[in-house]
């Protein structure tokens, strides 16, 4: 009789163990997929010329394990305003208008590789013209290494005047 009871308790535990193992497998596969997802980061720098925020550079970094190919970088235009006009803080840009340079196209970034652009490569202001504010996006389009689809990441940056009177770039959500 003792053996019969022992067999029944083993049979009851077996489906529970199978369920736990199945959940653990699915969870592990999900974590593995997250690790392999492409990850693109854009990092901004302080302006090289403190009086000209357009001299700031933006570095595109592949922080994922998968190489990214056919990377194209463009600048989406929201607002670029010169003094005496002021930027509209309630404006919600679509970033449909984009500017690109030939040297920003068709790159490949492996893990931890970087590529840097400067807004001043596209925009320049005359000596008597001062920027009062800007709202732009750095747009990175790419193909993950083995996936034949084009992905796009849009990162928004807005200037903000600091106590020293100079403009600096700050990242903002797209909204």
Beta carbons within 8 Å of 169's beta carbon, 6+ residues apart: 44, 53, 56, 157, 158, 159
First to last CA, the chain: 69
Handedness of CA 41, 46, 47, 52 (dihedral sign): positive
Q: What is the pTM of this model?
A: 0.78
Q: What pLDDT digit, counting tens, does each position of 92-121 carry? A: 999 999 999 999 999 999 999 999 999 999
Percentage above 70 pLDDT, the chain: 85
Distance CA 117, CA 107 (A): 12
Evaluated on CA atoms 28, 31, 35, 38, the torsion sign reads positive
Q: Which tokens belong to 164?
A: 């020293």
2 pLDDT more than 60: no
* C-beta separation of 154 from 142 below 8 A: no
pLDDT value at residue 89 = 86
**pLDDT, tens digit (0-9, with 9 covering 90-100), for 24-71:** 677 666 566 555 677 899 999 988 888 888 999 999 999 988 899 999
Q: What is the CATH number of domain 40-172?
A: 2.60.40
Q: Which of 108, 104, 128 is nearest to 116 (CA)?
A: 104
**φ/ψ of residue 51, rounded to 5:** -85, -5
- How many CB atoms within 10 Å of residue 124? 11
Distance of alpha carbon 108 from alpha carbon 27, whole angstroms: 31
CA max distance for the chain? 99
Q: Which run of H or of E encompasses 32? A: helix 2-36
């Amino acid at each position: 009789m003792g053996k019969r009871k022992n067999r029944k308790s083993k049979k009851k535990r077996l489906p529970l163990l199978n369920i736990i193992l199945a959940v653990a497998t699915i969870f592990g596969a999900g974590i593995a997929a997250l690790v392999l997802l492409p990850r693109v980061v854009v990092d901004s720098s302080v302006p090289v010329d403190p009086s000209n925020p357009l001299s700031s550079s933006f570095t595109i970094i592949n922080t994922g394990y998968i190489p990214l190919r056919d990377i194209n970088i463009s600048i989406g235009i929201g607002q670029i305003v010169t003094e005496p006009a002021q930027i509209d803080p309630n404006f919600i840009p679509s970033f449909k208008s984009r500017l690109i340079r030939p040297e920003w196209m068709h790159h490949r970034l492996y893990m931890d590789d970087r590529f840097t652009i400067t807004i001043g490569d596209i925009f320049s202001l005359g000596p008597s013209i001062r920027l009062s504010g800007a709202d732009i996006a750095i747009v990175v389009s790419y193909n993950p290494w083995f996936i034949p689809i084009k992905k796009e990441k849009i990162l928004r940056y807005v200037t903000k005047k600091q106590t020293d009177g100079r403009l600096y770039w700050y990242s903002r959500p797209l909204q």
